Amino acid sequence: MIGRRAVLASPALLGAGCASAQVPPPIPQAAAGPGLHARAAAKGLMFGAALNTGQLAEPDTTAAIRAECGLLVAEYEMKWDQVEPNRGDRRFRLPDRLMEFARVNRMAMRGHTLVWHESDPPWMGRLDARALANAMQDHIEATVGRWRGRIGTWDVVNEAVRAEDGRVDWLRRTRMLEVLGPDYIPAAFRAARAADPAARLAYNDFGCEHATVAARRKRMGVLALLRGLKRAGAPVDVLGVQAHLQAGQPFAADEWQDFLSDVAELGLTIEVTELDMNDRALPADVAARDAGSADLVRRFLEATLAQRAVRAVVTWGLSDRHSWVHAGRLPEHRRRDSARARPLPLDDAMRRKPMWHAIAIALDGAPSRA
Ligand code: XIL
């Protein structure tokens, strides 16, 4: 592995710690052939992607998923507002189709996500504390119970930390927090454990990865939450790091690895759950953009996979044809030019991009978990 990397890496690439978005390093190439999951599995890791049922109708997309993935996650079809659009009215038809696709193709599934302020069902706003606690309990019991024994890891609580909300406990001010208080978090984990004792239970969040003031604060908040959950005896097993990376933002392997070690010391494993690249700060030129994105992904994954508690890498979509980035929901997703974002490892035609090679190289170079 080292040999091939050394041959492929130019001096500029070896100094990539200070590569800037303006001077993209040369594009490294992994050997063609095995898909990303095969490379991950050779190291005792898993690789996969988010998808939705609409994509199952596209033969080139499903072929690419089969070639690259061993782990799938529903992009939104397991979220609370989707599976319980009206109180007690549960709809599992679409996520059942994803579960079936995974079963037929012998892939594992992640569950995503039980409690997330952005997928609160609209009827939730009318409930008092007692009714809301019951609704959360019922939702977790029904949803986790639906696929009991068939989901490896559940994202139980998503994005509950927000330093900017100014609380001493770093928690995001959500409807759940307002009505139930901070105990909604351990309660959600306990309900999930009861509904499927075999599933590993994750706290999942974004914004931790870069070497910025905001990310440092976020990491402190996430660690405080995880330590508190552990102290309270809440059954949390996994930290999900979303890894919506931003080209042009600094990344420092050492401080990132310190954070991962702190998490591992709590006895947790770690999964990269939503990897993609916001290429807004990179030039429109496709070759330069792809090189810049691949470089950041490679540095991020090499640093991440060096930590043995890390068990899986999941990208938020597999090809540039399908990405939430195109919807431009977040202001930071909108490019200032008209270039179409290229956030994922495959291009619109399912061809492997430099980002694919970056992931392959990082997986090939990862220490074995066996
Ligand atoms: C996004 C989906 O990609 C969109 O289709 C949906 O409209 C909103 O949610 N963090 C998460 C994911 O945990 O669930 C989000 O997915 C992206 C940010």
What residue's CA is closest to ligand 1, atom 8?
76
**Residue whose CB lies within 8 A of the most ligand 1 atoms, among 81, 155, 316, for a mutation test:** 316
Is the pLDDT score of 18 beyond 50? no
Q: How far is residue 292's CA from residue 277's CA, in Å, rounded to a whole number? A: 10
Whether pLDDT at 319 is above 50: yes
User: What is the pLDDT confidence band of residue 31, given thresholds at 50, 70 and 90?
Assistant: low
The Cα 291–Cα 354 span in angstroms is 6
**Minimum CA distance residue for ligand 1 atom 9:** 76
Q: Rounded mean pLDDT of 117-138?
A: 97
**Ligand 1 within 6 A of CB of 119:** no
Whose C-alpha lies nearest to ligand 1, atom 3? 324
Residue 7 Cα, ligand 1 centroid: separation in angstroms? 39
Is ligand 1 within 6 A of the CB of residue 158?
yes
Residues contacting 303, CB < 8 A, separation 6+: 251, 253, 256, 257
Closest ligand 1 atom to residue 116 Cα is 13
> Does the beta carbon of 203 sit less than 6 angstroms from any atom of ligand 1?
no
Model pLDDT for residues 322-352, shown as the tens digit of each residue: 999 999 899 899 999 999 999 999 999 999 9
Average pLDDT over residues 186-194: 98
Note the residue count of the chain.
Answer: 370
Torsion of CA 334, 335, 340, 341, to 10 degrees: -70
Contacts of 337 (CB under 8 A, 6+ apart): 284
Q: How far is the CA of 76 from the centre of ligand 1 (A)?
A: 6
Mean residue pLDDT across the chain: 93
Collect all residues with Cβ–Cβ distance below 8 Å to 237 and sequence separation of at least 6. 153, 200, 201, 202, 268, 269
If you ran DSSP here, which 8-state letter would residue 258 be given? H
List, by residue number, the catalytic residues.
159, 274
Tell whether the model's pLDDT for residue 220 goes beyond 80: yes
CB distance 326 to ligand 1 below 6 Å: no
Cβ-based neighbours of 183, under 8 Å, separated by 6 or more: none
Does the structure show a pLDDT above 80 at 203? yes
* Ligand 1 geometric centre to CA of 210 (Å): 20
Closest approach atom of ligand 1 to CA 324: 3
- Distance between CA atoms of residues 140 and 188, nearest Å: 7
Look up the pTM and report it.
0.92
Residue whose C-alpha is closest to residue 67's, from 21, 34, 91, 102: 34
Question: Which of 55, 118, 205 to mutate for ligand 1's pocket (most ligand atoms within 8 Å of CB)?
Answer: 118
Q: Which residues contact 285 (CB under 8 A, 6 or more apart)?
A: none
Q: Quick check: 173 pLDDT over 50?
A: yes
pLDDT band of residue 20 (cuts 50, 70, 90) is: very low
- List b or e across 31-46, with b for residues whose CB sees 16 or more CB atoms inside 10 angstroms: eeebbbbebbeebebb
- Reported as a single tens digit per residue, the pLDDT across 244-279 is 999 999 999 999 999 999 999 999 999 999 999 999
pLDDT of residue 28: 59
Please tell me the predicted confidence (pLDDT) of residue 35: 97
101 lines ligand 1 (CB under 6 A): no
Ligand 1 atom at minimum distance from 50 CA = 3
Contact 286, 342 (CB under 8 A): yes
Model pLDDT, residue 112 = 98
- Per-residue pLDDT, 23: 54
| pLDDT at position 27 | 55
Q: Quick check: 332 and 280 in contact, CB under 8 A? A: yes
139 Cα–ligand 1 center, Å = 19
Position 211 scores a pLDDT of 98
Mean pLDDT, residues 295-309: 98
The atom of ligand 1 lying closest to the CA of 323 is 3
